[in-house]
Amino acid sequence: MEMRRAVRGGGLAVGIDLGTTFSAVARVNALGKPELIPNRECEKLTPSVVYFAGETPVVGTMAKRSVQASPLDVVEFVKRSMGDPSWRFETEAGTQYRPEEISALILKRLKVDAERVLGDEVTDAVITVPAYFDDAPRRATIDAGTIAGLNVRRILNEPTAAALAYGLDGSVSGNVVVYDLGGGTFDVTVLTIAGGDFRVLATHGDRNLGGFDFDNELMRLLNARFMAAGGPDLLDDPAWEAALREKAELAKRTLSSSPSTQVTVAAGTFTTTLPVTRAEFEDLCSALVSRTRDSVEQVVEEAGLPWRQVDRILLAGGSTRMPMVRQMLEQLAGHPPDWSQNPDDLIAQGAAIQAHLLDQEANPAAGIRISNPRPKIRDVTSHGLGQLVRDGRTKELINSVIVPRNTALPAAGDDVTGTLRDFQETVRVRITQGDSTVPEEVRIIADRRFPIRRRPENSPLKVTLRYDVDQVIYTTVTDLTSETEIGTFEIHSADAMDLSQREELSAKMRAIDP
């Protein structure tokens, strides 16, 4: 069985942070340092927003400015829907877009802007994803890159990318916690950094927790106060809601550096100014911060470390600027987190480093060397991998975890079971992602039947599961009686794009400059 391998393209390689609210592209410069590449507006961060002017897509700052005027023609926060087979955005003319296509428009914009600055074609990319993404959104991210005209060399976990950017110069070592709270997702990872070795010990997260949710809490507070002052319900009108979200986001940023702020809100003929304090905001968001705290405590415990052995906490993601986050982490660790670096830049910089390392690996004699010794990165699985089987004693259906969560990548494991009855002619293989033995608590990611030779009950069958470095999953089924392979497949979501769909959309994308 051949694993997925992205060979080197003919142009430049970059690192891309495909974010929920903002995206960035970076490349290692002539001095061996990673740096963000500015977009056509001379900004380092490009809003992950797509506006459809009729059928013409516009990406970035101009799209974000169109949210209030045309909220129904704008797509935001698509990263949260990656891998969702039911999600579609429909334009005014009725054209439907999948999450992969919207993300491809954002990636194409980053690619084109980078080419304008670098003066050469960008063909290759390392794209980051939340560590807690499972198979479906990882596949969708690879598809989005392919549609955008990029050869996706690697899918890199965001906390690992941040640690790589922090620790490249050798200034960071020991046991490190990376706390990554972005616009729409949250990850926490524990690593050991020693010399050029980055070894992930454990990872956890929540793909539906980020700055977006903190904004929502503030929006509800402001809306309630606006209505109490005599104004209409701002959440009943898409344009009013879009304006409220922008004001809440600005107020959140102000409260990170000031104890209070005033928010002027208008709807129709009614306008009022509403006060809000940092203390009120922190009280509203205490449950959200507690959710991240629970994940941090869990992942440090899973890494087998007492807090006294955690040498440093690194911050990534713009939402870590909120003082309540830093205060919570200092209470946990007994020392303040390290926020010496710009949390918005780290993930793209780490992806650029990984892209450069892959280039060095492909051609050791060419190009700029970024460090000596060259960093070695060992990540772990973010989800357990297993299969549904019948308990040999009770005959009840259970989930057998074959590759546990936090296993070093690439990873593989076997599970031997027996046929259920005499002379059965097929075997059903149901592959799962999750860490529970209870079938209802895991997700079935593949359900296949294979013909087998007629044998007595309990004739042994072996299922082998493999994760590659991108956490793409491969399965092999072996008849142990005859030592023959009866089935092998790479796992795809039932709704994932096939090759012809990707090629069709790639051809369509080549004609678009978003």
Contact predicate 327/353, CB 8 Å: no
pLDDT tens, position by position, 54-66: 899 999 999 999 9
> What is the pLDDT averaged over residues 378-385?
92
pLDDT over 70 at 1, yes or no: no
Quote the percentage of the chain above a pLDDT of 90: 76
Q: Which residues, at least 6 apart from 336, have a Cβ–Cβ distance to it below 8 Å?
A: 326, 329, 330
Q: Which of 17, 143, 187, 470 is catalytic?
A: 17
> What is the pLDDT averaged over residues 42-58?
95
pLDDT tens, position by position, 446-487: 999 999 999 898 899 999 999 988 888 999 999 999 999 998
3-state DSSP assignment of residue 432: strand
Q: Which CATH number fits domain 12-168+340-373: 2.50.20.10, 3.30.420.40, 3.30.870.10, 3.40.920.10?
A: 3.30.420.40
- Judge whether 12-168+340-373 and 173-337 match in fold: yes
Q: Which of 134, 143, 180, 359 is catalytic?
A: 180
Q: Which of 79, 108, 111, 252 is catalytic?
A: 79
Q: Whole-model pTM? A: 0.90
pLDDT tens, position by position, 4-31: 445 555 789 999 999 999 999 999 998 8
pLDDT tens, position by position, 275-333: 999 999 999 999 999 999 999 999 999 999 999 999 999 999 999 999 999 999 999 99
User: b/e string for 119-131 if b means 16 or more Cβ within 10 A?
Assistant: eeebbbbbbbbbb
> CA 503, CA 514: separation in Å to the nearest integer?
19
Provide the CATH topology of domain 385-482. Answer: Substrate Binding Domain Of DNAk; Chain A, domain 1 (2.60.34)
For the question of residue 120 being annotated catalytic, the response is: no
> CA 408, CA 234: separation in Å to the nearest integer?
48
> What is the pLDDT averaged over residues 378-399?
90
pLDDT the model gives residue 3: 41
For the question of residue 158 being annotated catalytic, the response is: yes
pLDDT the model gives residue 372: 53
pLDDT the model gives residue 134: 85
Provide the CATH topology of domain 173-337. Answer: Nucleotidyltransferase; domain 5 (3.30.420)
Q: Which of 158, 217, 249, 359 is catalytic?
A: 158
pLDDT the model gives residue 5: 46
For the question of residue 422 being annotated catalytic, the response is: no
Domain ranges of the chain: 12-168+340-373, 173-337, 385-482
pLDDT the model gives residue 444: 92
Strand pairing class (411-418; 426-433) = unpaired
Q: Name the nearest CA neighbour of 479 among 464, 495, 499.
A: 464
